Every structure is written in C-alpha cells, then in structure tokens.
Structure 1
C-alpha cells in the first residue's frame, strides 16, 4: 500500500478527521496559517494521544501497536470526553 493511500486509511491514521479539517481550513483561508491554529493544535494533540497509546501497547506486547479504527472508537467512547 502506498504511503498516501495508507495515510488516507482510517485504520492506519487515527487523526484522519483532524488532518482533513486542517487541510480544509487552510484551503478556505488561502493558506493563512494563523487562522487555522486551533485545527493544528487539535491535530497535534490527536497525534500525541495516539502515539502514547501505541507506546503503551508496544510495551505491553499488544499487537497491532495502533488499534484498528473500531477499537479506537471504543477507546474514545470509554473516556468521559475527547482527549484532544
């Protein structure tokens, strides 16, 4: 699978929604980054959260390191609020 296709795959990219929102914001605002800061922060926090999950699963020997989309949905639903 190509890198681009893998990044568009919901099972591979837990922050696809945040990626798309950031891109859309940039497109709509003629690439003025300062107008999209909140989207960038949300994306960064999303990546940080799921990276932490991957590190924990790797330490515990859980494979795959990145949970599949359905498992990620369950993880997020088990939390009181969205962590990012």
Structure 2
C-alpha cells in the first residue's frame, strides 16, 4: 500500500535524495491525483479549441466535480481515522460507483 515518500527506499546521498523527492512530487499519477484523466481532458480540449475556455466549460466543470468529490472523501476518511486518506487507485472505481448508485436511489 502506498503511504507517501517514506514507503520508497530513498538514496543515502542528500543530493540524490532531494532529486528523488522532486521526481516523486512531479509524478502525475493516480496515486496522488485521482483526477488526472479529467485534468488531461481539459488540456486536450483547450489545445483543440485554441485555448477558448468557453468551449471547454463542461470539461472544467467535470474536473471541478472530480476534485470536490475526492476532496470530500479524503476529508471524511481523515475524520474517521482511515489511512490512507485517499483510497488506492484499484478501489476508487468501486467507491465512485457506490456513490453514484446511492445518489440515484436517494439513499
């Protein structure tokens, strides 16, 4: 299970360790950001439409909704003491599907 930088074996050399940590921070993956796909879709739309933001408004709204959903979930898990605060990528689709199903049934 991923629990941050400490779960990786870090280099002994301080300079190498700093470079290693910078690379980890730059990593755009779903471990740290569950909305990478939505983020990429926004920029594809902007590129396609010559950065006309109005044409990509639906993509922006989708990205905002994604960030809000996972932000609320992260806060709930933190309040309940569940670690990690953000579920691993393999569990996220199930959690999202359960949320959508609960909204459709009004539970």
TM-score class, shorter-chain normalisation, is 0.7 to 0.9
Within the candidate set 82, 96, 100, 1:62 is matched to 82
- 1:11-59 per-position Cα deviation (integer Å, ceiling 9, x unaligned): 1111111001001000000101111000000000100000000000000
3-state SS of paired residue (2:95): helix
Q: Which residue of 2 aligns with 1:33?
A: 53
How far the C-alpha of 1:81 sits from its partner, in A, is 8.0
Asked if residue 11 in structure 1 is aligned to residue 31 in structure 2, the reply is yes
The gaps in structure 1 that reach 5 residues or longer are none
Q: Which has the higher contact order (CA 8 A, sep 6+)?
A: 1
Runs ≥4 in structure 1, deviation > 6 angstroms?
none
Residue-pair matches, total: 80
Q: Which residue of 1 aligns with 2:4?
A: none
CA distance in 2, matches of 1:53, 1:34: 29
Scaled by the length of structure 2, what TM-score is found?
0.69
Computing the radius of gyration from Cα coordinates, the structure with the larger value is: 2
